[in-house]
Amino acid sequence: MGKPQKLKSEKEKAQEKRQPLSEAELGPLFLRKKTECGSYKMGIEQDEVANISTYIANLPTKSDIKDMLKEVTSTLKEELREIRRDIASVAGRTVDLEMNQSKLFANQRQIHIALLALNTQINEIQRQQEDLDLNTLIEVERAHRVFKPKTAPQDTPRDTICCLNSYALKEEIILKTREASYLTFEESPIKLFQDISKGQQATIRFPKDTKNFMMRMQIPHLDVPAWLTTDPCPTDTDMDFTQQEEWKRVVTPSKITSTPRS
């Protein structure tokens, strides 16, 4: 029962401490707070007034603004003058280019006529060198022999290339050579070929001498002797498979050499 009495006494003491102050006691406290707040506000207002006055004092005057405008206008005028000079120079260059281009187009016909005249002069000089008449037509423009390859034997026939000015003459020569079976010149056989003919192209694509062609093109050639001696179209009685093992050994070697790259 002793503990509850102690608690009550402590509560009473706390209540006595928490009793509100009277108006006479609160008055001076409010006055002091008001004076402190008023002094703080006055200090802030004075600072703001000082800042505004300094800002106004730092603003440029009319004379300063006039000087700035004069500088800006002078710089702009100088830059515009330079731009106008550049435009004038570019305009002059474009006019010169247009004039030169028009001259080139106008002189193109004259240049073409001059080239044709040069061609006729060259033909006249060629006739004078060959002691030909002026009315003589030059049928063969040029003819020259072709060098033999280094690996060719000595008795290999030499090629001669001829350039004819007349297409009709060339066709006539080709037709006559096709009709003739054998041609000779100074007791030597000759053959005429046309480079763009189908027969020449077929000869180039499908050479008869396959072995030499493959050696010349650096292609590995597999020699099969049994195939060379066998009839290409044998009958049932002629078929012989005694050399079958040799065919397998030649056709399917252990290691096929790769084709060298050119």
Residue 42: band (very low, low, confident or very high) from pLDDT cuts 50, 70, 90: low
Q: Pick the residue with more confidence: 2 or 150?
A: 150
Residue 172 has pLDDT above 80, yes or no: yes
Say which range, 1-5, 136-140, 143-147, 192-196, has the weakest mean pLDDT: 1-5
List C-alpha distances in Å: 96 to 85, 93, 105, 125, 244: 17, 5, 14, 41, 87
User: Residue 82 has which token pair?
Assistant: 């330079």
User: What is the C-alpha to C-alpha distance for residues 210 and 34, in angstroms, rounded to an integer?
Assistant: 124
User: Residue 125 has which token pair?
Assistant: 């000089």
- Sequence-separated contacts (24+) of 35-44 with Cβ below 8 Å: none
**194: three-class secondary structure by DSSP:** coil
Scanning the structure block, which residue is given the tokens 């060098």? 147
Scanning the structure block, which residue is given the tokens 């070929």? 193
Contact between 213 and 185 under an 8 Å Cβ cutoff? The reply is: no
Helix (H) or strand (E) holding 143: strand 140-145
Q: Average the pLDDT over 37-44 and give the result.
A: 59
* Beta pairing partners, 110: none
Contacts with 218 (C-beta within 8 Å, 6 or more apart), sequence order: 259, 260, 262
Q: What is the mean pLDDT of the chain?
A: 70
Contact between 217 and 194 under an 8 Å Cβ cutoff? The reply is: no
Number of H helices, E strands in the chain: 8, 4
Whether pTM exceeds 0.85 = no
Say which range, 48-62, 78-92, 189-203, 206-220, has the weakest mean pLDDT: 189-203
Say which range, 48-57, 76-85, 127-136, 175-184, has the weakest mean pLDDT: 127-136
